[in-house]
Structure 1
Amino acid sequence: TGPTGSGKTTTLYAFLKKIQKPEIKIITIEDPIEYHLKGVSQTQVNPLKGYDFASGLQSIMRQDPDVILVGEIRDSKTSKIALQAALTGHLVFTTLHTNDAAGTITRLTSLGGDLKNIGPAINLAIAQRLVRKICKKCSRPKTVSPAVLNKMKTALKGLPKRVKIPKLKKGLKISQAKGCKYCNFTGYRERIGIFEAILIDEEMEKFILKNPSIASFRKLAIKKGMVTILQDGTIKALQGLTTIEEVERVTGE
């Protein structure tokens, strides 16, 4: 999930390239086909001929695929077919428009999805954004201000113990954007993804049956070890890949 231009298609293609093998039949329905993938049968919607995501998905199902990519779930018909495909042993990749990973369940129910089917059908819900990377040519280490240090501490509060980060103490230095000819004097060049992911296990499946609010579902995901998109962005700022200002701009937090 994520807004338009947040790199969702690139992530989906990365998954397909990872699992692609000659013996695995992968079929896609996209709008449009953005990259051509070797060993993958790709199709494109054509509304003028009545070939939309729903009809395309129905056609794909008749071809006995192992893996299906649906470019986007926009309506209840596509949602129901995709959920049924996932429940009948197909690995289905798709995208939705939600603010965060926890919003996936609410979005699917709003599209007519049955709660008893949604939990078993989903393995993983990912939310992502793209932030600008600090220019490697002109970035310089700089001591973090007390205000930024406090922001980092707040963002990383409750971070799972498995995630190792530098100590957030006075005098901490991280890379700062500066600006040069190479980056057109912006301080940034290229982009990188920041993510959060919810693994749907048995406990999550049972919780979904209660039709939880987005806030309560997110709270449980964090309790079970989810690194939030803000935390992932903050960690990448600590690693010198982006800046706190850029993470705040993109996440709105």
Structure 2
Amino acid sequence: MYGALNELNTSGKKIITAEDPVEYRISRINQVQVNPKINLDFSTLLRTFLRQDPDIILVGEMRDQETVEIGLRAALTGHLVLSTLHTNDAVDSALRLIDMGAPGYLVASAVRAVVAQRLVRKVCPDCSGHDEVDEARRQWLVTRFPNQAAAKFTRGRGCQNCNLTGYRGRIGVFEMLELDQPMMDCLRANDAVAFSKAARSNTDYKPLLASAMELALQGIVSLDEVMSLGEGDSSGLVEPIYL
């Protein structure tokens, strides 16, 4: 989020944030710390921000229905609103807003894009070697990545430089979902399954799992780290991915 703010933080832009806590100070941005002891929560701050005519608003986290609805309505009145949610992936994030009580039509009209991220462990470069893929993991590959079933992977053996773990350092895995008309129609109809299918069938959408697999094929992360990202989404939808 701070990376996005730094990109948007240009002269002439009025940016206000509500954070819990403020972890990093950025020049030219008005950053406010949430304080529940004096009833200064996200929703209260968001209402106050709207009276100050900002260009960009960051809400540290969407925690309740009130904050969600105020944030979505602010996005419909000419403000760029950034926030975070705890969900499995980008597809689940849009659906979580509805689960929190926001009307589907409001989510469809206000949300433009969702970015999901995970940190995965990198294979230690000092003890990396070929990974002999066992039958269980090979079968997982056949199901999830059919055209990579015979691919070669790397894993760390464990050394003093990685405390015998086989891993050293982490790398971000990202996915971005931009809402198109079919997805918006599904949200307005409150049809979670149809929304998941519409999102995953979008040619511009690359799921977290696919991004992680690309790193594994380069030898940067292990197959086990890719598999740790999980299966499918909250609807139980599991489909093969082709790279």
Q: TM-score normalised to the size of structure 2?
A: 0.85
**Structure with larger RCO (C-alpha < 8 A, sep 6+):** 1
Aligned to 1:201: 180
Kept in 1, the 8 Å contact 2:113–2:179? The answer is: yes
Are 2:196 and 1:218 equivalent residues in the alignment?
A: yes
Query: Offset of 1:129 from its aligned partner?
Result: 2.2
Counting matched residue pairs gives 231
- In the alignment, which residue of structure 1 is the partner of 2:228? 249
- The CA distance in 2 between the partners of 1:217 and 1:195, in whole Å, is 20
Residue 14 of structure 2 corresponds to residue 25 of structure 1: yes
Tell whether the 8 Å contact from 1:26 to 1:41 is kept in structure 2 after alignment: yes
Matches for 1:26-175 after TM superposition, within 5 Å: 26-142=15-131, 144=133, 148-157=137-146, 168=148, 170=150, 172-175=151-154
CA apart distance, 1:245: 0.8
Secondary structure at 2:126 match in 1: coil
**C-alpha root-mean-square deviation of aligned residues, in Å?**
2.2
Counterpart-to-counterpart distance in 2, 1:74 and 1:168: 39
Q: Structure 2 regions of 5+ residues with no counterpart?
A: 233-243
**How far apart are 1:53 and its partner, in Å?**
0.4
2: distance between equivalents of 1:153 and 1:236? 18
Structure 1 residue 231, shift from structure 2 partner: 1.9
Residue 238 of structure 2: aligned partner: none
1:183 aligns with 2:162: yes
Unaligned stretches of 5+ residues in structure 1: 1-11, 158-166
Deviation of 1:38 (Å): 3.0
Question: How far 1:155 sits from its partner (Å)?
Answer: 2.3
Conserved 8 A contact 2:125-2:156 = no
> Which residue does the alignment assign to 1:4?
none
1:5 alignment counterpart: none
User: Post-superposition shift, 1:194?
Assistant: 2.1
**2-structure distance, mates of 1:59, 1:169:** 54
